[in-house]
């Protein structure tokens, strides 16, 4: 029987490329739209999980996120809390419910989509960087707690990727400038991130757990 993966935020960008990569490998993909689950809302997440019931989910990719670029002075509490809710708390709630069930079945893969801005920061990224650094921490703790059930939990830190999120937060001139800051000289295609996510979140990965893997063209090593 085909394995089943749940991918959040798969309507576009990196999430859509991840969905397509799993489909290509024959996985059944659950990709709830925002109308089915609002990841900013714990009650909405719990309601969605309740509706899933006992349906086996073999792999989970926590991909959905928001990024409000504001200086510390301008960042509102609501924006801060919204980023923590979508980028970190939603991943916690999904792992808390689905992780132990994977462990009970003796196999599971969880991949959290973090960011190069969990490892380094940039002006205006306080809320986003805090949420993604938290996600790296959650990755390690969950990997330890779920290892007994052969559930491998990892994070992927993309660098600059050609998506709406990137275009929304950077002008075309800024994107050009970003390319100049990347040792490989360009930003990534979403499919290049999806390939690493699929490796970690499938049968291909047999021994890596609790790690954060950076896929950024060399940006953070400078
Ligand atoms: N793009 C980059 O350069 C880059 C770099 C580093 C890390 N990342 C990370 O990679 C992941 C994907 O980024 P992306 O650029 O592909 O993002 P994107 O194009 O902005 O897409 C975000 C996805 O998340 C969903 N989403 C956001 N808030 C939601 C909510 N409250 N409830 C349900 N769904 C929600 C969106 O759904 P709707 O369609 O309903 O809006 C959409 O499917 C994120 O975790 C991001 O932090 C991206």
Q: Is the CB of 45 under 6 A from ligand 1?
A: no
CATH of region 4-160+190-221, choose from 3.40.50.720, 3.40.50.1260, 3.30.460.80, 3.40.50.2300 = 3.40.50.720
CA of residue 68 to ligand 1 center, whole Å: 12
Q: Is the CB of 165 under 6 A from ligand 1?
A: yes
Best residue among 7, 10, 15 to mutate for probing ligand 1's pocket (most ligand atoms within 8 Å of CB) is 15
Per-state percent for the chain, helix, strand, coil, to nearest 5: 50, 15, 35
Per-residue pLDDT tens for 50-81?
999 999 999 999 999 999 999 999 999 999 99
Give the distance, in angstroms, between the CA of residue 79 and the centroid of all CA atoms in the same chain. 19
Q: Is the CB of 66 under 6 A from ligand 1?
A: yes
Q: Is the CB of 9 under 6 A from ligand 1?
A: yes
What pLDDT is stored for residue 166 in this prediction?
87
**Exposure of 76 in the CB half-sphere (CA atoms within 13 A):** 3
Q: ∠ CA(124), CA(37), CA(79), 5° rounding?
A: 20
What pLDDT is stored for residue 169 in this prediction?
78
- Strand 151-158 and strand 108-113: pairing? parallel
Can you tell me which residue has the tokens 């600059």? 160
Residue 1, pLDDT > 90, answer no
Residue 222: count of CB within 10 angstroms of its CB: 8
Residue 144, pLDDT > 90, answer yes
Best residue among 6, 13, 201 to mutate for probing ligand 1's pocket (most ligand atoms within 8 Å of CB) is 13
Ligand 1 atom closest to 116 (CA): 6
Three-class SS of residue 200?
helix
Q: Which of 51, 50, 59, 65 is nearest to 6 (CA)?
A: 59
Residue 170, pLDDT > 90, answer no
Domain residue extents for the chain:
4-160+190-221
- Catalytic residue check, 128: yes
What pLDDT is stored for residue 163 in this prediction?
93
């Amino acid at each position: 029987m085909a394995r089943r993966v749940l991918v959040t935020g798969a309507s576009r960008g990196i999430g859509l490329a991840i969905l397509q990569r799993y489909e290509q490998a024959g996985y059944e993909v659950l990709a709830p739209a925002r109308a089915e689950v609002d990841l900013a809302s714990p009650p909405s997440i719990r309601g969605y999980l309740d509706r899933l019931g006992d349906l086996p989910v073999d792999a989970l990719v926590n991909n959905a996120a928001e990024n409000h670029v504001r200086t510390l002075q301008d960042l509102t509490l609501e924006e801060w809390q919204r980023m923590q809710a979508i980028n970190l708390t939603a991943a916690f709630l999904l792992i808390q419910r689905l992780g132990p069930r994977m462990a009970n079945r003796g196999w599971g893969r969880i991949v959290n989509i973090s960011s190069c801005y969990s490892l380094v920061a940039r002006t205006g990224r306080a809320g986003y960087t805090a949420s993604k650094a938290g996600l790296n921490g959650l990755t390690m703790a969950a990997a330890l707690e779920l290892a007994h059930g052969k559930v491998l939990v990892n994070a992927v830190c993309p660098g600059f990727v050609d998506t709406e999120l990137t275009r929304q937060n950077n002008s075309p001139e800024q994107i050009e400038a970003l390319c100049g800051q990347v040792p490989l000289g360009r930003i990534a295609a979403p499919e290049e991130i999806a390939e690493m996510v699929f490796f970690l979140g499938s049968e291909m990965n047999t021994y890596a757990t609790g790690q954060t893997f950076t896929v950024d063209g060399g940006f953070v090593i400078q």
